[in-house]
């Protein structure tokens, strides 16, 4: 199936639903992920991300709806799906008493790779993840970051077309997380489609082409980060101006067309604007006799978007409840 | 809506063989078993028991006896029980040790979802683990069996007869089937309980119950059921045979101690009174075919119990959510 510019849809779901008893873990999910993109499945813990992933891999059966991964149905043809899709679970574990090489060799065997081919791919993958030197050490001695990289090396063994990463940066220190995300971006460059889930929105927002924000099993928002920012934050651009001046520059900045608000603090001005006002701001600062030291557009943060969205939702909810409450009293009165 | 209904011709068959990757799992698990400290320790114990009991049995033997090699396995001298007796409780122990952390161990190491994300079905993982356990058990037991035979050959200086070898091999087979029951139980518990320690202790609890308490309990039940002594014996025999331990010891006795007396006792046609009369009977050994016929139900029972337990674990595992 193709859409728009002839890009292939590699993962698609229609009305995908999973219920555990009374709890609906995933609710009527419609997902389209195109080849070569990095898609972020984002949301707090327990919002249905992992369940979605397990259904895509055929590791758990959907209660309703259907999914297609690379054109295969995960319920009926899980082996075909799993042969081409690499999955890195959250807090991945290995057989600690075996070496990295032995661990990967087992996975290669489960994938039915012939011995020489397996060994070649194994060396390649370990080399690529920077684990070649420690490949013969028991995995029990590895750090969290190394295990995560070993997990990625394992995915590469399959030469996957899609990789699915569940909370890939969980438990990594910021530096290791950043490096790991860079590696993932490198995989995208090879044409591998990446689906990742995370609740650490700020960490993954830089590498996701598109994100879907989950809340209580439902996908509530979807799009690129700037798109969502426009939609939820009302198209606000935040510009940070660092300028030196004898006078207060605030009036000058407020005078720039499109600027809605200015917050000043120690020579740093935070502007909220309707558009990218950087050229005009630079001009205004200079004209007001100030020295411009820095000018940058702040990326809208997914955390802000998420928080703002739910604030709004909460308000709506409260309003609804209030209305309902009134309805009840009215009915009560009628009786 | 119509589309959704159409998209769900569920319960449709899944594609691909359920045994893909089975042998990779078996090889890996067997390698794990054979190199694990747990198994080495158990092997050492069983080795010491074998050498100890056989050594003592050798001193008890008279050269003129028929079935010298079978006597090697069954003859005991204080303070040690016979080799057969030891196996009766060492084999369950080994089998439980091989299976109690099969599935929950993977859960706790967080390797289960990673392994199942490979192009294999759960069937392959479970059966692979079961077969690996069974093969390991068979390997260890065969090695011990050969060791005992070898010791006998060295010390007795006469080769075993064909019948002795055949009976010995059948005994080996029975022992493996007996181990299979406990392996199946341990495997089931490894799925039911998330903690390996709980699974191990529960398996051992069942084993203790069956070995030690079931016999006593049957005595009480039977007394409650009827006053007729013959009926009591019948009922007692039927009930006590629910225990795999009973099946195993009776089968071993029939195979390794082929007298009419022991066989009749197994067949349950004997009362204490008849036993006294039998003292005067000619102690002719039973032919192998007759012994085999006697223990056929026992052997079938053991194998059936193994398959039942495995089927139970299979159903439980297929239904289990694999998310940690």
Please give the average per-residue pLDDT across A133-152, as a whole number. Answer: 94
DSSP annotation of A301 = P
- Is residue B111 less than 8 Å (CB to CB) from chain A? yes
Per-residue pLDDT, averaged over B298-314, amounts to 96
- The pLDDT-based confidence of A34 (bands split at 50, 70, 90) is very high
Q: Return the pLDDT at B127.
A: 96
> Does the bond joining B283 to the residue before it have cis omega, within 30 degrees of 0?
no
User: pLDDT value at position B306?
Assistant: 96
For the segment A255-259, the average pLDDT, to the nearest whole number, is: 85
Q: What is the pLDDT of residue B81?
A: 83
Distance from CA of B102 to the nearest CA of A (A): 13
First to last CA, chain A: 58
pLDDT of B146 over the 90 cut: yes
Query: Hunting for tokens 């006590």 — which residue is that?
Result: B240
Read off the pLDDT of each residue in A266-271 and give the average, rounded to a whole number: 83
Residue B226, pLDDT score: 84
Q: Which helix (H) or strand (E) covers residue A23, if one does?
A: strand A23-34
Nearest chain A alpha carbon to B119: A79
Q: Do A151 and B114 touch (CB under 8 A)?
A: yes
* Chain B contact set for A94 (CB, 8 A): 109, 111, 114
Contact A278, A269 (CB under 8 A): no
| Mean pLDDT within A295-322 | 80
The confidence band for A328, taking pLDDT boundaries of 50, 70 and 90, is: very low
- State the pLDDT at residue B3: 41
The pTM assigned to this predicted structure is: 0.86
* A77/B16 touch (CB, cutoff 8 Å), yes or no: yes
Report CA torsion sign: A121, A34, B119, A164: positive
pLDDT, position B8? 46
> Hey, what are A129's tokens?
């993840």
**B16/A contact by beta carbon, under 8 A:** yes
pLDDT of residue A170: 87
pLDDT tens digits along A269-304: 888 888 888 888 888 888 888 888 888 887 778 888
Query: Of A238-247, A305-314, B136-145, which one has max mean pLDDT?
Result: B136-145
Q: What is the mean pLDDT of chain B?
A: 86
Residues of A in contact with B116 (CB under 8 A): 59
Tell me the angle at which helices A100-110 and A144-157 cross, rounded to the nearest 10 degrees: 30
B70-88 pLDDT, tens digit each: 888 888 877 778 888 888 8
Residue from the list B10, B116, B118 with its beta carbon closest to the beta carbon of A111: B118
Per-residue pLDDT tens digits for A53-97? 999 999 999 999 999 999 999 999 999 999 999 999 988 899 999
Q: Name the minimum distance, in Å, from the CA of B142 to any CA of chain A.
A: 28
- On chain B, the residues whose CB falls within 8 A of the CB of A66 are 4, 7-8
Residue B106 has pLDDT above 70, yes or no: yes
Residues of chain B found within 8 Å of residue A54, distances taken between Cβ atoms: 113, 322-323
Contact B27 A60 (CB under 8 A): no
The residue that leads in pLDDT, B286 or B197, is B197
Question: Which of A89, A154, A163 best probes binding to B when mutated, by most B CB atoms within 10 angstroms?
Answer: A89
How far apart are the CA of B189 and the nearest CA of chain A, in angstroms?
Answer: 21
Judge whether residue A319 has pLDDT over 80.
no
pLDDT band for position A330 (50/70/90)?
very low
Q: Is the pLDDT of residue B193 over 50?
A: yes
Confidence class for position B6, pLDDT limits 50, 70, 90? very low
Strand partners, A335: none
**Which letter, b or e, does each residue of B104-136 get, where b requires 16 or more Cβ atoms within 10 Å of its Cβ?**
bbbbebebbbbbbbbbbbbbbbbbbbbbbbbbb
Per-residue pLDDT at A3 exceeds 50: no
Phi, psi torsion values for A165, nearest 5 degrees: -120, 125
Query: How many residues appear in chain A?
Result: 335
Q: What is the SS3 assignment for B65-131?
A: CCCHHHHHHHCCECCECCHHHHHHHHHHHHHHHHHCCCCHHHHHCCCHHHHHCCCCCHHHHHHHHHH
| Residue A310: band (very low, low, confident or very high) from pLDDT cuts 50, 70, 90 | confident
DSSP letter assigned to residue A220: E
- According to the model, what pLDDT value does residue A324 have? 63
Pairwise pLDDT comparison (B14 vs A207), residue with the higher score: A207
Strands A38-42 vs A193-198: parallel, antiparallel or unpaired: parallel
Q: Is the pLDDT of residue A180 over 80?
A: yes
Lowest mean pLDDT among A250-254, B193-197, B274-278: B274-278
- ipTM confidence score: 0.85
- Between strands A38-42 and A210-215, the pairing is parallel
CA distance A111 to chain B (A): 6
pLDDT band for A244, please (50, 70, 90 cuts).
Answer: confident
Q: Per-residue confidence at B135, pLDDT binned at 50, 70, 90?
A: very high
Instruction: Report yes or no: A76 at the B interface, CB cutoff 8 Å.
Output: yes
Nearest Cα of chain B lies from the Cα of A112 at a distance, in angstroms, of: 7
Mutate to test the interface with A, among B33, B101, B113 (most CBs of A within 10 A): B113
CB contact, 8 Å: A46 with chain B? no
Structure confidence at residue B265 (pLDDT): 66
Task: Note the pLDDT of residue B264.
Answer: 66
Q: Which of B3, B15, B323 sits opposite A14 (nearest CB)?
A: B3
Query: CB–CB of B118 and A107 under 8 A?
Result: yes
| CA dist A16 → A19, A84, B31 (Å) | 10, 21, 41
Confidence of residue B276 (pLDDT cuts 50, 70, 90): low
Selecting from A51, A57, A76 the residue whose C-beta is nearest the C-beta of B117 gives A57
Chain A CB within 8 Å of residue B25 CB: yes
Q: State yes or no: pLDDT of B119 exceeds 80.
A: yes
Q: What is the percent of chain B with per-residue pLDDT over 70, rounded to a whole number?
A: 88
Asked if the C-beta of B38 comes within 8 angstroms of chain A's C-beta atoms, the answer is no
The answer to whether B275 and B241 are in contact (CB under 8 A) is no
pLDDT score of B271 more than 60: no
Residues of A in contact with B118 (CB under 8 A): 82, 107, 110-111
- CA A300/CA A297 separation, integer angstroms: 9
Kindly identify which residue of chain B lies nearest to residue A58, measuring between CA atoms: B117
B269 band by pLDDT with thresholds 50, 70 and 90: low
Lowest average pLDDT, out of A127-131, A311-315, B98-102, goes to: A311-315
Question: Looking at residue B281, what is its pLDDT?
Answer: 55
Assess B321–A contact: CB distance below 8 Å, yes or no: yes
**What's the rounded Cα separation, in Å, for the pair B306 and A124?**
44
What is residue B5's predicted lDDT score, i.e. its pLDDT?
41
- The tokens describing A284, both together, are 């205004």
Confidence at residue A208, expressed as pLDDT on a 0 to 100 scale:
93
Residue B28 confidence (pLDDT): 95
Would you kindly state where each structural domain of chain B is located, as residue ranges?
18-215+306-319
Nearest to A106 among B28, B116, B324 (CB): B28
Identify all chain A residues contacting B3, using CB atoms and an 8 Å cutoff. Answer: 14
d(CA A107, CA B119): 10
Q: What is the structure's pLDDT at A269? A: 87
pLDDT value of position B267: 63
Residue B272 burial (C-beta neighbours within 10 Å; 0-12, 13-18, 19+): exposed
Phi, psi of A44 (to 5 degrees): -70, 170
Provide the pLDDT for residue B1: 39
């Amino acid at each position: 199936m193709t859409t728009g510019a002839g890009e292939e849809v590699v993962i698609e779901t229609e009305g995908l639903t999973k219920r555990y008893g009374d709890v609906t873990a995933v609710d009527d999910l419609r997902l389209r992920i195109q080849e070569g993109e990095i898609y972020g499945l984002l949301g707090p813990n327990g919002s249905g991300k992992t369940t979605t992933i397990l259904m895509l891999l055929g590791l758990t059966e959907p209660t309703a709806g259907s999914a297609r991964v690379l054109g295969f149905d995960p319920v009926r043809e899980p082996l075909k799906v799993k042969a081409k899709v690499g999955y890195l679970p959250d807090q991945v574990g290995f057989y600690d008493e075996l070496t990295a090489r032995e661990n990967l060799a087992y996975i290669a065997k489960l994938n039915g790779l012939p011995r020489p081919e397996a060994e070649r791919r194994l060396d390649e993958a370990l080399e690529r993840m920077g684990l070649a030197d420690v490949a013969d050490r028991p995995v029990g001695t590895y750090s969290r970051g190394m295990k995560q990289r070993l997990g990625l090396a394992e995915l590469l063994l399959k030469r996957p077309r899609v990789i699915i990463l569940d909370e890939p940066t969980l438990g990594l220190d910021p530096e290791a997380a950043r490096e790991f995300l860079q590696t993932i971006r490198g995989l995208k460059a090879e044409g591998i489609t990446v689906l990742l889930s995370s609740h650490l929105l700020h960490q993954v927002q830089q590498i996701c082409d598109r994100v879907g924000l989950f809340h209580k099993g439902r996908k509530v928002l979807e799009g690129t980060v700037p798109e969502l920012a426009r939609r939820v934050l009302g198209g606000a651009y935040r510009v940070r101006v660092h300028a030196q001046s004898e006078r207060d520059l605030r009036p000058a900045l407020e005078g720039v067309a499109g600027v809605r608000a200015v917050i000043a603090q120690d020579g740093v001005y935070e502007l909220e604007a309707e558009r990218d006002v950087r050229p005009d701001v630079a001009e205004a600062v200079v004209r007001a006799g100030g020295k411009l030291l820095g000018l940058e557009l702040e990326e809208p943060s997914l955390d802000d978007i998420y928080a703002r969205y739910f604030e709004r939702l909460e308000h709506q909810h409260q309003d609804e409840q209030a209305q309902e409450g009134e309805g009840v009293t009215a009915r009560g009165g009628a009786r | 809506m119509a589309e959704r209904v159409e998209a769900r011709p569920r319960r449709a068959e899944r594609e691909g063989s359920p045994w893909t990757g089975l042998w990779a799992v078996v090889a890996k698990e067997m390698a794990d078993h054979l190199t694990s400290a747990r198994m080495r320790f158990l092997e050492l114990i069983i080795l010491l028991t074998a050498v100890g009991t056989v050594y003592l049995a050798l001193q008890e033997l008279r050269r003129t006896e028929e079935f010298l090699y079978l006597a090697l396995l069954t003859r005991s001298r204080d303070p040690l029980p016979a080799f057969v007796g030891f196996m009766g409780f060492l084999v369950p122990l080994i089998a439980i040790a091989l299976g109690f952390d099969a599935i929950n161990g993977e859960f706790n190491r967080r390797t289960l979802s990673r392994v199942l994300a490979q192009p294999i079905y759960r069937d392959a993982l479970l059966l692979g683990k079961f077969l690996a356990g069974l093969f390991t058990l068979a390997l260890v037991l065969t090695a011990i069996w050969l060791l005992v035979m070898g010791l006998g050959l060295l010390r007795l200086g006469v080769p075993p007869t064909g019948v002795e070898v055949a009976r010995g091999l059948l005994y080996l087979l029975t022992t493996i089937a007996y181990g299979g029951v406990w392996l199946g139980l341990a495997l089931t518990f490894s799925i039911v309980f998330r903690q390996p320690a709980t699974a191990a202790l529960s398996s051992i609890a069942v084993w203790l119950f069956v070995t030690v308490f079931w016999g006593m309990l049957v005595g009480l039940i039977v007394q409650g059921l009827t006053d007729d002594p013959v009926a009591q014996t019948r009922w007692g025999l039927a009930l006590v045979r629910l225990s795999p331990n009973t099946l195993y010891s009776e089968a071993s006795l029939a195979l390794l101690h082929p007298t009419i007396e022991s066989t009749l006792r197994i067949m349950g046609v004997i009362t204490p009174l008849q036993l006294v009369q039998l003292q005067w009977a000619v102690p002719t050994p039973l032919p192998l075919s007759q012994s085999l016929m006697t223990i056929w139900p026992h052997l079938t029972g053991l194998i059936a119990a193994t398959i039942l337990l495995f089927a139970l674990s299979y159903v439980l595992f297929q239904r289990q959510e694999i998310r940690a």
